[in-house]
Structure 1
Amino acid sequence: MQHWQEDFMFGYQYLNGCNPVIIRKCTEIPEKFPVTHEMVEFCLERDLTLEEEAGNIFIADYEIMENITPNSTDPCTLQYLAAPICLLYKNTQNKVLPIAIQLQQTPGENSPIFLPSDEKYDWMMAKIWVRSSDFHVHQTVTHLLRTHLISEVFGIAMFRQLPAVHPVYKLLLPHIRFTIAINTKAREQLICECGLFDKANGTGGGGHVELVQRAMKTFTYRSLIFPEAIKTRGMDSKEELPHYFYRDDGNKVWEAVKSFAEDVVNIYYESDEVVQKDEEVQAFVKDICELSSTEFPKCLKTREQLIEYLTVVIFTASAQHAAVNFGQYDWCSWIPNSPPTMRKPPPTQKGTVTVQYIIESLPDRGRSCWHLGAVWALSQFQENELFLGMYPDEHFIEKPVKEAMAKFRKKLTEVSHVIKERNEGKKLPYYYLSPDRIPNSVAV
């Protein structure tokens, strides 16, 4: 609340807020975003041109928001959406700061590029619009589609294709606990007609459905492989970007999960041929492909592929969901930092924004209350939460699997300890991917 207006806090959220998956390295400024060196020269600290700074330039492009239908369920209040593009710069202190914002996908006279050197309220309004767009993409794509809905697909396929005695069923069951139930509740109360999305969000009334449908067109299995997703965005170098804790902690948890999946697979599958001949696992994988996307594997041919697949399912339902869910109250409860809707259109000229215009743009009290209640509720753990590595139901009785579980828990404890040590003394600790705070499944 005290620091939301600062460029540092705006940039920090791209790395360690509740939507740390949008930012990517910018190797070339896109034609639709004609930022020049002269525009941002005063922001650059290394005596290099914008082109020479390539390794330190990042971009967040909300192209997916273009032409999404804004909420019109309340005839008394017009609501607006935008599809901004934001350029960010890593300065000499390794802080990522915004240096240029365009609020539309198409440049032109009525689509100015806002800069930190502009009037205070112009720049503030531009950043608020980006934060609002980020909120919509986070809620609908990063959170709803890419953790809740895909985990439900995994669960449905598991129940349909795997018998309860199958080792893969036993392995995955704790990681889809309550998922179908919580998603059913969401369809009845949140994303339904007259639900919370309609009441509070600018994408309510159908825009959220359009967003999911649009995101599905580019949704791939490979994008769920955590290290690969990080690398695809050019965000994998710790030397180049040292304070990306989502990446660092996520990689540690991914490796722990993968090691556990590998131990279990190697107990039950002596060779690749055994995987190929497992008709039930092959039916499970095929069902997921048919339920979700042609970009998902239709079959698995090796133990390595099965290990990776199981890691994806477990990691998505546990760690990935925790990373993008439990920070919602922290980052979204201060309304100007994550407005769920906007009541005025984005500015089309510089020098027109006043404090009054900002206040009139932000959500009214009623929508703010609905939003606040939602992000608080979504950020709570269950009363009897089962965290990653906790398997009290003992579906496995074989000694080698129990030993693998003990090894898994030991690794997770080590990761939690490393994260705790790093966080000590930090004003902004990052703990969303600490294993002792990662529930086993999507259950809230």
Structure 2
Amino acid sequence: MTTSFDSLGLHPDLIQLLSDKGITSPSPVQEQTIPVIREGKDVLARSQTGTGKTLAYLLPLLETIDTNVKGTQKVILAPTQELAMQIVREAEVYGAYKGIKTLGLIGGAAIKRQIEKLKEHPEIVVGTPGRVRELIEVRKLKMHQVKTIVIDEADQVFQLGGAGDVNHILRSALRDRQLVFLSATVDEGTRRLAEREMKDFVSIGIDPEQMTASGLTHLYFVAGEREKIDMLRRVVRHFDPTKAIVFANNAETISEVEAKMNYMGISAAALYGDADKMTRTRVLNAFRDGQIKLLIASDVAARGLDIQDLPLVINFDPAFDSDHYVHRAGRTGRMGKTGTVVSIVGEKETFIMRKFARELGIELNERAMQGGEIKDKPAYSSNRPQRSFTKKGASSFGSASQGKPAVRTSSAKDREQSSNVPGPGRKNERERDRKNKGAPKWLKDKKKEQ
């Protein structure tokens, strides 16, 4: 039996707004989270990126706002300006049925204008932790009526150094406030904070054994360092996506990939973690509008991005760990759609792919590119030779089925050295004679006897 928004007790006008957007039934995380938040319980929810977490907490927040109360009642914290403004836009759309006002408080924007807007007593405030804390400290954001604090992408908030700001914000709120954490991954630090700050919280995990969306296909290609750019070009040409995000691990690589892709005739633009608001907005608008095919970005720059209908994510550099892989992969395959995640790795980095597959419980297969077509490759363990080590630390290779070091037999080189035919063997003898030139006669005679 499929759950409906009506069965979750949402207001008919809110359900109509959802229907107008083509959303007719709740996703699993919405189905489990909405009733619990409406009851006022503390929540720690984990769900794959792109499964509708924003509406999972936003809808019950809107339902529980008392429009007769003048002042801010709900505070939502997000790790990046981009995500905060996306949440603001969603809140404005779905809060219209009750005339609810939402204000975004992000760093980089004019603080004086934000202070003026706070005088209009918005019921919902959405912001980055640093700017929200700043306005609390100057007594412009009043927290005495705040009933709920939500931290979206909680693990990223703390990874970006927002733990101190979050603690200050929590201290400024009422003791009986409701606290909601939502994230694609929940690390030990996030869980410990939840245990310390929440009261009998409800832990919600959607498919806890599956960290990435089920509609994703995960592939990787092996390429040498000098071949990676060409492999990227071939991958893009093969899949021919309307748009794709390419992840790189440092600014130098981002700049190089952007320049070379444009040189090869594939439109690309770079997005750096320290980009100012105007540059970020310009690049993202061009990407969303289809003016550029590839967005080359770092993990920090891409946090919180919600690009509609993104079919492909490419890891030009492998993710730092499985959590980063989850967040990168979460840019595609959102809200039940399909998507592809491709990694380009060196021969010595293939172990990272096996590690991610094991930790995330996903199928992550190697593929080869031949003649512009993708070819299947047998599984790593059954196709490639296994390496074993001697006591001296030297390595030898045998087949995976034998599992034994190769036995060295008499070779052509050995036979050459024992014959009178000119070759490497005779050369070695001359070399030994040269080294023996200064030796005493008795030692030379002794060596000849041997």
Q: Which has the higher contact order (CA 8 A, sep 6+)?
A: 1
Note whether the superposition's TM-score is higher than 0.5: no
Between structure 1 and structure 2, the one with the greater Rg is 2
> Could you say which structure has the higher helix fraction?
1
Instruction: Give the structure-2-normalised TM-score.
Output: 0.22
Instruction: Give the structure-1-normalised TM-score.
Output: 0.23
> Could you say which structure has the higher strand fraction?
2
